[in-house]
Amino acid sequence: MYALRAKHKGFTLRDVSRSSRPTESHQSFLACVFMLWWFNAMNNIQWNVQTFQELTLDQLFDVLKLRMGVFVVEQHCAYPELEEYDRYQETRHLSGRNASGQLLAYARILSPGLRYSEVNLGRFVVCADSRRQGIGHQLLHTALHEISRCWPGHAIKISAQDYLLAFYEQYGFIRMSEVYLEDGIPHVDMLKEIA
């Protein structure tokens, strides 16, 4: 087993006994280092936050194509994907595009009081061929930053697909419900309190 040791301008690996088990703090440290590495590796993604009115027709088309391609087609879930929430002035549309302009990731942020008393983060999606590259981490990190900028001190509520529970827990979200079916897919309500 190896552990990372911080140096002035980087990290070095040092051998730890193969029989020793990493402590929780070591695991957290390694997780943070891994996420920072991914953020640096993904620095070619251009993140944009826009209102509905600021989206161009082409940008709106890309967003709807990605959302319907994943939530309706890929997940075999016939439901009304478009909602009035998309058009509200307070709603923020967060998109991540690569250097060639391809939409890789998207999330929708609803202001407090619009759907819930808390900020609502939803429609969180990464295109299929860009998954497992850390883009979801970067998308969530960017969304949390935008939420803290627009609505400082407000809690964040999400309806997360059950299989992503551990992903959101890494960022301080706490499970608030039992598993329930939403459009035939297991979900749980989660909340992130902001201190």
CATH of the domain at 127: 3.40.630.30
Share of the chain above pLDDT 90, in %: 48
1-15, 43-57, 126-140, 174-188: least confidently modelled range: 1-15
pLDDT at position 68 over 90: no
70 and 25 inside one domain = no
Q: Are 54 and 92 in contact (CB under 8 A)?
A: no
Handedness of CA 110, 113, 117, 118 (dihedral sign): positive
Q: Which domain holds residue 9?
A: 1-41
- What confidence tens digit (pLDDT) does each residue in 77-109 have? 777 777 889 999 999 999 999 988 899 999 999
Task: Kindly state whether residues 116 and 102 are assigned to the same domain.
Answer: yes
24 and 67 in a single domain? The answer is no
Mark whether 101 and 114 lie in a shared domain.
yes
- Residue 10's CB: how many other CB atoms inside 10 A? 7
- Is residue 4 within 8 Å of 33, Cβ to Cβ? yes
Give 183's pLDDT tier (boundaries 50, 70, 90). Answer: confident
CA atoms 101, 106, 112, 118: torsion sign: negative
Q: How many domains does the chain have?
A: 2
Judge if 37 and 54 occupy the same domain.
Answer: no
Which residue reads 């035939």 in tokens? 184
Q: Are residues 60 and 7 in the same domain?
A: no
pLDDT band at 31 (very low <50, low <70, confident <90, very high): low
3-state secondary structure of 193: coil
37 and 55: one domain? no
Shared domain check, 17 and 67: no
Between 23 and 163, the more confident residue is: 163
Are residues 36 and 57 both part of a single domain?
A: no
Same domain, 71 and 12: no
**Residue 43 confidence (pLDDT):** 54
- pLDDT confidence of residue 154: 95
